Amino acid sequence: MSVLVFTENWDGKFKKLSFELISYATKLAEMLNTKSIALSIGEVEKSELEKLGKYGAHKIISIINKNLDILDNQVYSQLIADIAQKEEVTVIVLANNNVGKALAPRLSVRLKAGLGAGVTKLPVNIDPFVVYKKVYSGNAFAEVRIKSEIKILTIAQNSFDLIETYNHAEIVNTEVFVADGQVKTQMLEVQKQTGKILLTDAEIVVSGGRGMKTPDNWGPLIEMASLLGAATACSRPVSDEGWRPHEEHTGQTGKIISPNLYFAIGISGATQHLAGVSSSKVIVAINTDKDAPIFEAANYGIVGDAIKVLPKLVDAIKELKGK
């Protein structure tokens, strides 16, 4: 028995997300009286792999194979399922992100293992196995019982704190064979921005809505974000109007984020917008309308014109950072 964690690296480095998963899996393994195993695919240096041990992995399976450079869902899920069976895994933990969402459902069918998708905390019960997750886009939560022997969980980002355990993880370099013809997904081009804080990774997000009035007013918002080391975001009307790029749209049909701090500036807070940001730990709202629904979701609020308030806010942050 063991708990297997699928980790992802970006150019050989793990993100905080992978450490959250290991921390989660290690706690879960304790509840199940077993140990956690991390799976790493791709070229990662030993010192980086050892970091997985710091958050509790007992064993790290490292696989390097050029045919795994591209994410082919069929090849990856077959590989992970094979490892899970060999290691007699009872729970597989993945992130509830693009890659986790691509693989977890396939693993569920392949292993006939019930899927708890987007869970936000440790299981509320082990026998029967019951997980807790957001449903109705954040308008409710549900306890879901997983009836199968093997379970698959995807963990909502930023919902579980890092726990340092310092296990002496054994690194096992494992050879796998993937036939050239097996990889059917063919990559033609990659377009990637670098040097920008990614919205889904950011701990602080500064987001603007229609209350920003015109696309030319974004200067102070961007300045505020850079002072705070934050990512910028926007509401749907703003991305639909083309004031800001589509990648910045947060909300039900856009990106769903859960930063520690979310600034909603000139955003009224329609249900669809809140669906994307309601898991933020602290929400600050600036809006002219004191009855705007965003203030019901917000922890802190300023009733005022975003255009007038923002420069003062930027000055206050500069003063803080200057200290």
Partner 1 sequence: MKILVCISNVPDTTTKVKFIDNSRTLDTVGVQWVINPWDELALTRALELKDDPANGIQQVAVAHVGLVSAEPTIRKALAIGADEAFRVNSYAKDAFFVAAQLSEVIKTNPFDIILCGIESSDYNGSSVGGMLSEFLGINSVSAVSSIKIENGKSLIHREIDGGKEILTIPSPYVAIVQKGIAKEPRIAAMRGIMMARTKPIKVSEPVDIDSLTEVIHFELPKPRTACKFVDPENPKQLIELLQNEAKII
Positions 98 through 137 that interact with partner 1 (CB under 8 A): 98, 101-106, 108-110, 112-118, 130, 133-137
Span interacting with partner 1, options 40-48, 145-153, 157-165, 206-214, rule CB under 8 A = 145-153
Query: Which of 1, 31, 142, 172 touches partner 1 by CB under 8 A?
Result: 142
What is the CA angle 31-91-94, rounded to 5?
A: 110
Query: Is 93 within 8 Å of 107 (Cβ atoms)?
Result: no
Q: How far is the CB of 273 from partner 1 (least distance, A)?
A: 11
**Residues 189-204: b if buried by 16+ CB within 10 A, e if exposed:** eeeeeeeeeebbebeb
CA-based nearest residue to 14, from 201, 165, 191, 195 = 201
Q: How far is the CB of 118 from partner 1 (least distance, A)?
A: 6
From CA 103, how far away is CA 229, in angstroms rounded?
Answer: 32
**SS3 of 1, please?**
coil
Q: Considering Cα of 276, then 279, then 285, then 291, what sign does the dihedral take? A: positive
Strands 13-14 and 9-10: what pairing? antiparallel
Binding mask 146-185 for partner 1 (x = CB under 8 A): xxx-----x-----------------------------xx
Provide the phi-psi class of 211: left if phi over 0, else alpha when psi is between -120 and 50, else beta.
Answer: alpha
Binding mask 240-259 for partner 1 (x = CB under 8 A): ------x--x--xxx-----
Q: Which is nearer to partner 1, 93 or 171 (CB)?
A: 93
Near partner 1 in 184-203, by CB under 8 A: 184-194, 196, 198, 200-201
Span interacting with partner 1, options 29-37, 138-146, 158-166, 170-178, rule CB under 8 A = 138-146
Beta bridge partners of 282: 261
Query: Which of 5, 37, 265, 284 touches partner 1 by CB under 8 A?
Result: 284
Q: Which is nearer to partner 1, 163 or 303 (CB)?
A: 303
Span interacting with partner 1, options 60-68, 159-167, 209-217, 289-297, rule CB under 8 A = 289-297
Q: Which is nearer to partner 1, 53 or 254 (CB)?
A: 254
Task: Quote the DSSP letter at residue 117.
Answer: E
From CA 243, how far away is CA 208, in angstroms rounded?
Answer: 10
Q: Which is nearer to partner 1, 176 or 302 (CB)?
A: 302
Q: Which is nearer to partner 1, 168 or 192 (CB)?
A: 192
Span interacting with partner 1, options 83-91, 142-150, 162-170, 206-214, rule CB under 8 A = 142-150
CA-based nearest residue to 170, from 9, 35, 21, 29 = 35
Query: Which of 145, 170, 213, 222 touches partner 1 by CB under 8 A?
Result: 145
From CA 89, how far away is CA 58, in angstroms rounded?
Answer: 14
Query: Which of 139, 164, 173, 213 touches partner 1 by CB under 8 A?
Result: 139
Q: How far is the CB of 310 from partner 1 (least distance, A)?
A: 9
Strand (E) or helix (H) holding 99: helix 98-110
From CA 114, how far away is CA 120, in angstroms rounded?
Answer: 17
CA-based nearest residue to 265, from 238, 247, 226 = 238
Near partner 1 in 203-232, by CB under 8 A: 204, 228
Count CB-CB contacts under 10 A for residue 75.
20
Q: Which is nearer to partner 1, 66 or 145 (CB)?
A: 145
Near partner 1 in 13-52, by CB under 8 A: none
Q: Which is nearer to partner 1, 127 or 175 (CB)?
A: 127
